[in-house]
Chains A and B, each alone.
Chain A
Amino acid sequence: MSSELLRYVLRRVIQLVLVIFVAVSVNFLIPRLLPGDPVATSLARLQTAGGGTAIDIEAISRTYSERYGLDQPLFTQYLNYWADLLRLDLGVSFANFPEQVTTMILRALPWSVGLLGAATLFSFVVGSWLGARLAWPGAGRVIRTVVPGMMVLAAVPFYLLAIILVYIFAVELRWFPPAGGVQTTTIMRFDWPTIRDILHHAVLPFAAISLGNIGFWALGMRSQTVSVLGEDYITFAEAKGLSPHRVFFWYGIRNAFLPQITALALSLGAVVSGAILVEVIFNYPGLGTLLYTAIRGQDYYVIQGVVLVLIVTLAVMLFIVDLIYPLLDPRIRR
């Protein structure tokens, strides 16, 4: 590894640490800048809403005062917050007291990573590929009809597509379950029936995310490929007598793909937020649904925890993209 590359990596690492630091600090500050005591307000609201037993509420209240020292100076609280965070302690849920927020997030995370991660990666790769094929001379009839249709779907919001899919395939045709991540009666084990059940439930949300996304990435890749096609190095590659295959991959796609990666990095936030809505619609047991339920129930520490995880995840993914990019584009290595 050259020193130039080393410097590049080091700079990105510092950037990542900074982003996470700022995100954590903002996540700490915002609730505390709000007028009033968020914990008390929430608890009071819970009390009036549920008419719950007073003992419970007081117990929670006391726990918080002791655990988080909310009466202490802000800076001490901030340090405590960091200390808790490093112990992976994100607080306790109000709605499911005394469950740890960390436990809830860890339970939801695999579902989201599995669904959103797989769907996003899948549609990015497939969409880019289709877009490139569509732009390259000699695209087949199937590609020329299917891909533009996908591009139209890209204009349809995720959640709308999700609702349509649920109506057709779950309500009318009854091919797939309309909601959930797994049958409630399934005992989670690492065996084929469980996996099949999980996949069966994932089909519709996966399709809802992918269908629009494939069109989106195909659209970008097509225009990139068209502009790469006009480059002199493509003509020269053909003048060298290279096979169409070689020209397509190593001179065409190899270059057209670079802006796609940048676009992926830029749109990760949008992709995640769109996908979260899909989770909500399918009542999928991932982070999206967890966040949604927490917001509705004013489950304060859960909201804070999920948002933090989302921000850190995005930062890490951007970091990974930043690391991959110079491997693909030698002009960036500095």
Chain B
Amino acid sequence: MMADAVLSVEDLIVQYDTASGPARAVDRVSFTLGQGERLGLIGESGSGKTTMGTALMRLTRAPGRIVGGRVMLGGTDIMALSQRDLRAVRLRDIAMIPQGAMSSLNPVLRIRVQIEDAIHAHEGRLPKPEMAARIATLLTRVGLDPVVADRFPHELSGGMKQRTVMAIATALSPKVIVADEPTSALDVVVQRQVMQTLGRLQSGLGAAVVLIGHDMGLIAQFADTVGVMYAGRLVEIGPVAQMIAAPRHPYTRLLIDSLPGIDAKRRLTGIPGLPPRLTDMPPGCAFAPRCPLATASCTASIPALQTVASGHRAACHLYPGLPALPPLTAKAAP
């Protein structure tokens, strides 16, 4: 574990109790986040990114359940906190920009009230002028006109709502910000602006950010470290440059290849097959049924995350046998 880790997650397991049995949407995920680090988490829809992000602040709700693992935020064990202490930690130490930021604002309250609420909960009542000044600063910081404070959410555009949510999430200068697909519902131009704002906020506050998304291109531009999730498991994590230039997990390779490049002539390659159902996981590696390099050992046991290069870990049985990922066209030698 890094010495200056602000967030460390160990063997986190989150399970949904469904009619067809328990579904492990997050299965023994471990990673650490250094101070001011930008971690990008990608994975297909349903791979458990949101479930993981919400579990970090124990916002998991039934039928979801945190079954095991530890989340250490600085020196505090999130899983051991009382409800009251947990509320104190939320927003102040770890904040979230939820996946549905467009619908994350209460439709019947003015923006001002929704920001005040957050500050009141942690700092008690402030004198009115002080509060007003604070709100104006927060809104200006995310590129909004302070008059937005007196509007209702339905009077704002999607980008403005997204920025408002960012203003609230950063109101108390948290150490960790979990941003769950903050740009998914925005057009490309606004997407860029919002990402720039997030980047500015991050460096201004020195906060560590977990940026969740499924757009590898967007994540690569923002993150220092990239983690890849597949069927609830973290299958690879490493520095962004290495992850793109030399990914070690076959799934990561295929994910990068399926990126639409600038070069329009390149044929788009999808990943054949579908992710497994969480209630009916294949034995061994979850990706084995779709993996062009799968061997007998892949279905025998679940590969553990192992270091494949400095700061770069992958969960694949190819290692430590091979120095790098072989081409995916042919089956690897057994």
Contact = CB atoms under 8 A, between A and B. Distances in A.
A246 B119 CA distance: 13
B100 interface: yes
A255 B114 CA distance: 14
B87 A255 contact: no
A328 B108 contact: yes
A231 B99 CA distance: 11
A248 interface: no
Among A137, A251, A258, chain B packs the most CB atoms within 10 A around the CB of: A251
Interface in A277-334: 328-331
A241 interface: yes
Interface in A231-264: 231-233, 235-243, 246, 250-251, 254-255, 258
A235 B107 contact: no
B165 A238 contact: no
A6 to B, nearest CB: 18
B220 interface: no
A241 B85 CA distance: 10
B62 A137 contact: yes
B90 A231 contact: no
Nearest to B62: A137
Interface in B78-98: 87-92, 95-96, 98
Contact of B107 (A137, A236, A255): A255
Given A231-B103, A233-B104, A255-B107, A240 B152 contact: no
Contacts of A331: 107, 152, 154
Nearest to A244: B83
Nearest to A241: B90
A329 B169 CA distance: 25
B84 to A, nearest CB: 9
A329 B59 contact: no
A241 B91 contact: yes
Contacts of A232: 98-101, 103-104
Nearest to B172: A241
A242 B98 contact: no
Nearest to B165: A236
B198 interface: no
Interface residues of A, number: 23
Contacts of A255: 106-108
Interface residues of B, number: 33
Given A250-B106, A251-B106, A236 B88 contact: no
B57 A239 contact: yes
Given A233-B107, A255-B106, A238 B90 contact: yes
B59 A235 contact: yes
A241 B96 contact: no
A246 B107 contact: no
A241 B118 contact: yes
B117 A235 contact: no
Given A239-B98, A240-B168, A233 B105 contact: yes
Nearest to A333: B152
Contacts of B99: 232
B39 to A, nearest CB: 18
Contacts of B106: 233, 237, 250-251, 254-255
Nearest to B151: A330
B90 A240 contact: yes
A242 B117 contact: yes
A246 to B, nearest CB: 7
A239 B172 CA distance: 12
Contacts of A330: 107-108, 152, 154
Contacts of B100: 232
B203 to A, nearest CB: 23
Given A232-B100, A331-B152, A240 B117 contact: yes
A297 to B, nearest CB: 51
Contact of A250 (B61, B87, B109, B169): B109
A232 B97 CA distance: 11
A148 to B, nearest CB: 19
B103 A233 contact: yes
A128 B197 CA distance: 42
B103 A250 contact: no
A239 B103 contact: no
Contacts of A137: 61-62
A94 B15 CA distance: 75
Contacts of A329: 107-108
Interface in B174-207: none
The 9 closest A-B pairs by CB, nearest first: A241-B90, A232-B100, A236-B104, A240-B118, A232-B103, A330-B152, A239-B96, A241-B87, A232-B104
Interface of A: 137, 231-233, 235-243, 246, 250-251, 254-255, 258, 328-331
Given A232-B100, A239-B98, A246-B117, 4 more contacts: A240-B168, A241-B121, A330-B152, A331-B152
